[in-house]
Amino acid sequence: MESKELKSIFLDKFGDADGEIRVFSAPGRVNLIGEHTDYNGGCVFPAALSMCTTIIARKRDDGVIRMMATDLGEMVEGNIENLGAYKKLRWGNYQFGVFQELKEHGYPVVGADMLFHDTTPHGGGLSSSAAIEVSSAIAMAALGGIQKINHIDMAKISQLAEHHYIGVNCGIMDQFASAMGKKDHAIYLDCKTLEYELVPIMLDGYKLVISNTNKKRSLADSKYNERRAECEQGLEILKTAYPDITCLGDVSTEMFEKNGHLIENETIKKRVQHIIEEDARVKRSVEVLKGNHLEEFGELMTASHVSLRDLYEVSCEELNILVDEALKIEGVLGSRMTGAGFGGCTVSLVREDCIDRFIEEVGNNYQRSVGYEASFYISDIGDGGREL
Ligand code: GLA
């Protein structure tokens, strides 16, 4: 939907009033490689999508916040004096979490009418929630009068809202990609230092195809926190050999080969092995993509999937079917699950002239095995959060 159409829906729902109507947006993301490494101080390599959350917003002077989404009938209402009270909302809790966190960080939080329009599929592992959080943070900071918005700060605040308000101890990747993305670039981000590099993605005759399992991610949150705790246990054990390490991102594959045996619990050892090898795959991926070695990048993607499936154990049957079917198609260089896992999407590197066949065959075979349809998107790498 165009801004013009959204503005007319906004006026229809919230009525005419004084005050400027402003438009903000922030995208979802696809992670090219580097899964579950972010909260371990490792590297990730996500890109912002052109699928995004758009917010039409107008400031109010009475401290009341009213919000609606184009795909939901009801309006939620809150007050800036009582931001902690909306955790149980089925929709709107992410936004209130962000507003609360902004306030705690000294940002102005003002009353507002806000209409939300999402094009990132919900619960699909493409960070529709980061898109909502980051767009809300940018919009509220701007309505509050901040002229020059610090996007990295908006990403951090959005992440903290997820920890404190939603109860998921997520890493920084999704919010960072949503806040800092750049058209046709992926972000090589060191999650320990937040140093980053924008790497142009020129895929010479290939495209990234996203396949959505359309399976809702039910157990994802509790399993996510469980994996995080397992990694922390592994880190504590490795510290007995390497007292200076502060996160698994500090551990090289050589260090793990030498002292990984100290971790006696096989499950924890597998989790740690995944993180350390995945981190190395990210670094290698950036190198090979800079050199335009797409075949090797494809192999790294597939290796990442195998590791997420067998070592980190966050894949699921539906994701594995999509990857296995993808790899049978001519012109596919690599395929992997993307995001937290347990459902959501895969990303595959597919030669342009093979995409139609990819969608047809992977789609048919998926439906035959699973009983419902997958969805496919050709991913366009878009810009990060901003006022339009
Ligand atoms: C979710 C989290 C991210 C990251 C990924 C897995 O998307 O929000 O921080 O941990 O899972 O890579």
Q: How far is CA 232 from CA 43, 225, 310, 384, in A?
A: 17, 11, 19, 31
Q: How far apart are CA 303 and CA 291, in angstroms?
A: 19
Atom of ligand 1 at shortest range from CA of 44: 12
- Rounded distance from Cα 50 to ligand 1 centre (Å): 19
Give the per-residue pLDDT at 217: 67
32, 37, 38, best to mutate for ligand 1 pocket (most atoms within 8 Å of CB): 38
Percent with pLDDT over 70 in the chain: 99
Reported confidence tier of residue 342, pLDDT bands at 50, 70, 90: very high
Cα of 5 from ligand 1 centre, angstroms: 33
Half-sphere exposure of 124 (CA within 13 A, CB side): 24
Is the pLDDT assigned to residue 193 strictly greater than 80? yes
SS3 of 26, please? strand
Ligand 1: residue of 31, 32, 33, 36 to mutate (most ligand atoms within 8 A of CB) is 36
Instruction: Give the distance, in angstroms, between the CA of residue 281 and the centroid of all CA atoms in the same chain.
Output: 19
Instruction: Tell the residue nearest (CA) to atom 1 of ligand 1.
Output: 340
Residue position matching structure tokens 């003002």: 110
| Per-residue model confidence as pLDDT tens digits over 213-252 | 999 766 567 788 899 999 999 999 999 999 999 999 999 9
Asked if 350 contacts 332 with a C-beta cutoff of 8 angstroms, the reply is: yes
Q: What is the mean pLDDT of residues 162-170?
A: 92
Instruction: Identify the residue whose C-alpha is closest to ligand 1 atom 11.
Output: 340
pTM of the model: 0.95
Q: Ligand 1 pocket by C-beta < 6 Å: which residues?
A: 35-36, 38-39, 170-171, 173-174, 339-340
- From the number of C-beta atoms within 10 Å of its C-beta (0-12, 13-18, 19+), residue 103 rates as middle
**Confidence at residue 219, expressed as pLDDT on a 0 to 100 scale:** 55
Q: Is 344 a residue whose pLDDT tops 60?
A: yes
Per-residue pLDDT averaged across 17-29, rounded?
95
For 264, residues 6+ apart whose C-beta sits below 8 A from its C-beta are none
Locate 375 and state its tokens. 């969805």
CA distance 214 to 220: 14
Q: For the ranges 126-140, 189-203, 212-226, 312-326, which has the lowest average pLDDT?
A: 212-226
User: Tens digit of pLDDT for each residue in 272-284?
Assistant: 999 999 999 999 9
Query: Is pLDDT of 140 > 60?
Result: yes
Pocket test for ligand 1, best of 40, 127, 170, 275 (most atoms within 8 A of CB): 170
Mean pLDDT for the stretch of residues 107-120: 97
Which residue's CA is the nearest one to ligand 1's atom 2? 170
Beta-carbon contacts of 12 under 8 Å, excluding residues fewer than 6 positions away, are: none
38 Cα–ligand 1 center, Å: 7
Question: Residue 379: pLDDT above 90?
Answer: no
Nearest to 286 by CA among 196, 354, 377, 157: 196
- Give yes or no for a contact between 27 and 178, defined as CB atoms under 8 angstroms apart: yes
Angle at the Cα of 216 (from 300 to 2), degrees rounded to 5? 90
Whose tokens are 């209130």? That residue is 96
- Do 305 and 329 meet the contact criterion of CB atoms below 8 Å apart? no
Q: What's the token pair of residue 245?
A: 């390490």
Instruction: Return the pLDDT at 18.
Output: 86
Question: How far apart are alpha carbons 99 and 117 in whole angstroms?
Answer: 18
Rounded to the nearest angstrom, the distance between the alpha carbon of 171 and the centre of ligand 1 is 6
The rounded Å distance from CA 11 to ligand 1 centre is: 36
35 C-alpha to center of ligand 1: Å? 7
Report the chain's C-alpha Rg in angstroms: 21
User: Is 174 labeled as catalytic in the residue annotation?
Assistant: yes
Structure tokens at 246: 């502060």
Q: What is the DSSP letter of 212?
A: E
DSSP reduced 3-state for 173: helix
Mean pLDDT across 2-29: 94
Q: How far apart are CA 374 and CA 57, in angstroms?
A: 34
SS3 122: coil
**Which numbered atom of ligand 1 lies nearest the CA of 224?**
11
Q: What is the pLDDT of residue 380?
A: 84
**Alpha carbon of 209 to those of 16, 212, 295, 362: distances in Å?**
42, 10, 16, 12
Helices (H), the chain: 3-14, 93-104, 128-143, 151-161, 173-180, 220-239, 253-259, 266-290, 294-310, 317-327, 355-370
Residue nearest to atom 8 of ligand 1 (CA): 170
Please identify which of the residues 174, 190, 250, 279 carries the catalytic annotation: 174
- pLDDT reported for residue 208: 95
Identify the residue whose tokens are 């992977």. 362
What number is the average pLDDT over the span 303-316?
Answer: 97
Binned at pLDDT 50, 70 and 90, residue 255 comes out as very high
Nearest CA to ligand 1 atom 10: 36
Residue with tokens 């980061």: 130
Contact yes or no for 358/209 (Cβ under 8 A) = yes
Mean pLDDT value across the chain: 96
Ligand 1 centroid – CA 353 distance (Å): 32
